[in-house]
A and B are shown apart, each in its own frame.
Chain A
Amino acid sequence: MKLVIAIIKPFKLDEVREALTAVGVAGMTVSEVKGFGRQKGQTEIYRGAEYSTNMVPKIKIEVVCGSDVADRVVEAVQAAANTGAIGDGKIFVLDVGQAVRIRTGETDDTAL
């Protein structure tokens, strides 16, 4: 099993979700996160007091899938989240040791 973590632009969430559904992904966890990479932050001004925010809001998607479909999941995210501009995000793939469905106690691939 693989854990695919994708950091994407917030407005791309719906497209990425549709693309993942199309390749058979049945569930995912989504969080609102902040961070920075090459993309510059924004400047905020309140009554003349300037603050530059280095942290840019992003969406983090976590998907656990079978090792055999991991490549297709990565491709789907990469295609759907791509705009060609700096700040499109990153995808990380990690090995997963175990999975358990809490309701039934099923494990590993059947638990996904």
Chain B
Amino acid sequence: MGRRRWSVWSRITGWGLLLVATGQAQGAEPVLSEQEFLNEMPVVLSASRLNQPVQDAPGAVTVIDRQTILASGFRDIVDVLRLVPGFYVGHFSGNEAVLSRGIAGHLFGRIQVLVDGRSVYMPLFGQVHWSVLPVDVEDVERIEVVRGPNAASFGANSFLGVVNIVTRHPEQDPGWFVGARLGDPAERSGTLRHAGAWGPWHYRLTLGHREDAGFPRRPDDTRIDHASLLAEWRVTPADTVQVMAGYAGGRLGQGWPGDPKDPPRDQAAASGHVHLRWQRVTATDDEWMVQLYHTFQRSREQAEVPPIGLVRLKQDSDRHEIELQRTQGLGAQTRLVWGGSLRHDTVHAPLYLGTDARRSVRVARVFAHGEWRPSPAWTVNAGAMVENNDLTGTDTMPRLSVTRHWGDHHSLRLGISGATRTPTLLEAAADYRLGGVVYYLGAGDVGAERLVARELAYLARYPEHGIHGGIRVFEERLRDLLYPDKNAPASVFLFKSGNRLTRQGIETELRIERGATRLTLAHGYLRVTGVSGTSQDAVTDLTEADPRHTFALLLDHRFPQGVRASVGLYHYGNMWPLGAGGDLQRAYNRLDLRLARTFRGRHGETEVAVGVQNALGSYPDFLWDPVDPTKRNEFRTRGYVALRTQF
């Protein structure tokens, strides 16, 4: 304000300008001193901030950066994962996304999902409730995806994959951001963000609204408001404290018109978190981290179901976790990461679990992971996690990988990794009855699901030509898989352990960046080679659940004058996903187009974008019920216009 007043004055009197100028010259401005050269500076790019080079990682890693996310035009974070080889993204309803890397199903995703190091999958269902996640895609810096088990680093549920969503630092976007998007189906969404400094704190406060009508002919609309805060205080050059809090809540449409057992209704849904983190970084590879967080999900819905009467469906889940992690460089060749955590999940879901009591699961784990580079030609990664929980006792999850590098361009990695998955509370303790009829029963006291994964990967990179690529073949042997056995009496779904599945696959990815053009290619091939199960249905279902091929292409080009165009092409092969009504989901291709122009002003920039999603015509998304063919998610061609402005 003061500055502006002065500039007005200066126009009135030439002296004003002179006075301001001399005032500044005489010591109002800081004079450069030796402090800027000699003083300790905070370690900004510490080990946890730096992307680990893909060629040194212990397993297959895909990193999706912000440019790619923006170019994709996806509003929902989960959709971005279509760009990861072997990942499937579908929709059980317009407000319930399905994410899998094999064994595609409505529930039990078998994938660990973290937001800024906080585990967000639901303890009851094992999936993430993406619609009610208080994270705005505008705040996402990058998404790191581990394609395969990484229990040794991330623990429970890091079974078939790990998705780590990293949000931006407040200092990356100082000022205001306003985003708005209008589109099909009746989509209206908006984001308002401010990032700045308040005393010693750097903060980012984001408010958002998401609203759309979901798929045609079903009441699966979304109306969610969300707010999130990230504040960081650099207490000393080495110590930072971060406080994160978020809340998302609103209404989600549920049910089907004309289905008395699943009538149209609104679900009140909410989720949120409070997250405190302390970090001490004394060198790039010397770091302490302690974090404490609470995440929760709530849902309430009720419906008149004849002849039972009013049915109330309630689900309250809470997760508390405290975690310590130490990163240590031991000489130039070795780096060690070790730590441990204590987690407490509680669920109150009377109808799902058949009890009005809160059920809880405690998990304790310790882990250590070492990276050893005895010479520029070799990287050895070894690690293990020991985990104890109330449901399945104590398990050890080891991993080992050896990578040979040839110069700067080629690497070959051989790896083996073990993982376990603790059953979700639904699989372990379901007791779902309506009007005295049993629908689902948990497996009771069973062990964890187990996985041994082996892989051979070749990685190539020519950064001087903007080329990065990799191909890997893998085999994953899963045993003690839980699956509902539909042959139990009276159509009771009884979760049973003891299913086995062996699968092999090839995953390929390629990224080319030349001048103003970026190309991302991802392909996954998956073949189930052996299944044995507790029932013939289980064998059939597990064999056929996944598409044999998944493919994604994103081409993004920046033209002069701030014009940017992108084309996304996505393919999933035939599949019979689990919990989807049971019938074949035919292969489909989806074409997304986006055209944007950025206008740069003196104080900010504004982007206007138009886009088409699925330009090729309708496809059924995940759900297609052969008994009632009207029950399907018809993904029609959608258009949108979007405005993003930062100032």
A and B associate: no
Residues of chain B touching chain A, judged by Cβ–Cβ distance below 8 Å, are none
Instruction: List residues of A whose CB falls within 8 A of some B CB.
Output: none
